[in-house]
Structure 1
Amino acid sequence: MNKTVKELANEFGVSKQTTHYHYNKLTTSKQQRDSHGYIIITDSTEKIIRDRVTNKKRQEMTSLSVAVMSC
């Protein structure tokens, strides 16, 4: 089922800007818009963005743990 940027951002717990950033990093063949120009996020696109967002969150948490441990 297609989702909006806002729906995806809420689901992932990130900002719409973060979702847009990862969407814009996709190849143009994976970027889709409806007849009004709104971004359409398909299931396959959602999976790619989800992987990128969770990897980024994981990296941030690892960096934070290292910083806390070194104090």
Structure 2
Amino acid sequence: MALADRVVARVSISTQTMEVHHEGRHLFSLSVSTAKCGKITPTGVCTPEYLSRNHRSKRYNNAPMPLAVFHDGN
């Protein structure tokens, strides 16, 4: 079983946090930003398509987006 198969990340839209677990053990929590006001963040299970440790936003004036996770083409 690959490491990624044993890692689970749960995002809470209401608290804007993400908890990461490995083999059922809590590793860490961090703050996240989901959809902006007036937009909807889809719920459910997804697989990340792209990870970026030091991403910069092309849309928002080169704003830093550390540890960015992108899915569904967004």
TM-score, normalised by the number of residues in structure 2: 0.24
TM-score, normalised by the number of residues in structure 1: 0.25
Higher normalized contact order (CA 8 Å, seq sep 6+, divided by chain length): 1
Higher CA-based Rg: 1
